[in-house]
Every structure is written in structure tokens, then in C-alpha cells.
Amino acid sequence: MDIPPGYQKWPLFWFQCPSCGHHCYRSIARTNPHALPRSIFRFWCENCGSYSALKGPPWKPGVFAFCAFGLGFLVLVASLQFLPQYVLVVGLFSCSVTLFAWLTLNRLGNTYVREHKDAP
């Protein structure tokens, strides 16, 4: 299947289709900031072609990003206190912690609901 117009691939964003159960860390989504009472993301399943949205408040992905980057920053500051001479190693470790936290929060916190209209 071809990706619908206006949709793009979002790497490192967990998606699990509520229709067929297909899951991956490379979601295909479109953003629409004008749909703000609902989720600003609208997802398309590359396996079955159905459309879905994030279940829950629209600010949930922002909170996940803030928490992941906050944890990475705290790890960076704490590691620099103990190992100030290894700045490169500490920086790489902090980036790894941020990425792991982002992936974990996405996997555990993102749930999806199927949209009934199947038009882009």
C-alpha cells in the first residue's frame, strides 16, 4: 500500500493498530494542530489501511517528551558531577538514557482508538 497524501513516517514513535494488532516503532501519521480537542496525530496502519488516533488527552506525547528529556538532563548533570573528565562518555550515556526513556514511555503509554471514518 502507498502512504496516503499528507502522511509521513515518524521514527521512534510506537504504534499499535487497534484494528489488526500490527505494531512497530515507525508510525505513519499526519499532524493537524487545528483538531485540538482531540489528538493532533492521526495514524494510518500500513498493514490493514485503517485510521486511528491516540487515546487520551492530546498533550500526552508532549509530556512523554518532556519527561524523557528531563530524565536525560538529570542523568547528564549527575554524571558530570561524578565524572567531569569524561564529558564525551557522559554525553553519550545521557543521550542513550533519553532515547531509552522516550521509547519506554511511548511503548507503555500510547494506546490507540480506531476512527470510524476511513477517509484521509
Domains of the chain, residue spans: 8-57+110-114, 60-105
**Residues 41, 31: contact at Cβ < 8 Å?**
yes
Q: In 41-71, which positions are buried (b, 16+ CB within 10 angstroms) versus exposed (e)? A: bbbbbbeeebbbbbeeebebbeebeeebeeb
pLDDT of residue 117: 61
How much is the pLDDT for 116?
66
For all residues of the chain together, what is the average pLDDT? 87
Residue 53 C-alpha cell reads as 488516533
Give dist(CA 101, CA 105) in Å, integer.
6
Residue 110, all three cell numbers: 500510547
**pLDDT tens-place string over residues 21-78:** 899 988 999 887 776 666 678 899 998 888 998 888 878 888 999 999 999 999 999 9
* pLDDT attached to residue 97: 95
H or E stretch at 106: helix 87-109
What is the model's pLDDT at position 96?
95
